[in-house]
Structure 1
Amino acid sequence: MTTLPGDDGQSDATASGSRSFTPEQVRYLGSLPAVSTVGPNRIRYERGFAAACLKRYRQGAAPTELFRKAGLEPELIGRKRIERCFFRWKERESAILRYAQEDDGWYFIHGDVRTKGAKTESKGASVGEVMWLVPGSVRDRVMEQLVSYNEMLERENKQLRELLAEDEGFRADNMTRRGDLTGGVR
């Protein structure tokens, strides 16, 4: 797998310092077929992905949709990064299209844009895993975790109440026996 020289998608990340990736986001991005390498402030894309995007762009697909279908949510990587990537790619379109492949749909892990939703093999995460990495969905993820934790606590509480009821029954039996032994005094 090879990247395009100078095609690192970094200009908006390091120039403004506004978009830095967490280690978890770096792992996720690195698992995508479209990504060659990734660091806290930089993404390098596969040549074939750039060519696939340009082909579909010329057929009418929107850049943001192409990146989203490849698992590169704009909320995660930044809309500006997508815009700048396409700007650079369009400037070097003839050189990039030399890397075009007949079967390049595998870059689009959430369905090829051409086929509107066809699933392809992924080496990355599911849509749900992507969404939890997107900052806007953190609240939803926290809510899911809290609901799950609450359900677990309710189950544990029920079990403890059952154990306590059994224990109290045992104590009551024991106290009655002791009372019998001591003349009825508890």
Structure 2
Amino acid sequence: MALIKNDRKMTPKQVERIQNKIKKIKHELAADKKHWGGFYHDGRGLRYLPPELYLKLNDYSGALRYFNWFDKNFPEDSGFPIFLFEWTITLFKKKKIKLAEKKALETFYSNTYLIDMFLGNELLHFDKSESSNWEYSSLVENLKYSKNQEEFNDFTKWLKNFTTTETFYDFANKFIKIETELKNEPVGKKRSNLVNEKYKLLENLK
């Protein structure tokens, strides 16, 4: 069966090619675990690749199974912004709305530009300390997902609505306030308290 992606029909051969890529990654991750005596090392970051492939196939059930596996096997790995966004899409598509809301907030926490980039909004720039490459606007300049993709029509509508809720505003405003204060706060008790407050925002989503 030909699947739809980005308004184009995908041929059975293209589908098979993507499915084989997923299988190859899983095989290599299994080999990595065996090599390291039952633990994953994955220095190449292969674990972050399957979600994009599942989304290309519109296989949200497969994506959700993968994210559940990831959560179990990499519990301390918070993922990176685009990975978290793919997780948000998957949760929404599988009608796990409350979990999708939390993952959308995690996405904003990891990169404040990504959601606006997807929605085609003006990017929110404020004076903050971007201590990680993941936080830069350049990370999402070539985002592969956008509101213009037909398969995301329902997700786009939901995300637009969610970003206008009190839940999102409250979280975003607290995060922005902390980040702004951290920008010029020297090392000391106040800075430590701000860092702890920032991490509590994330912990409260768990």
1 or 2 for the larger relative contact order (CA 8 Å, sep ≥6)? 1
TM-score > 0.5 by shorter chain: no
TM-score by length of 1: 0.31
Q: Could you say which structure has the larger radius of gyration?
A: 1
TM-score by length of 2: 0.29
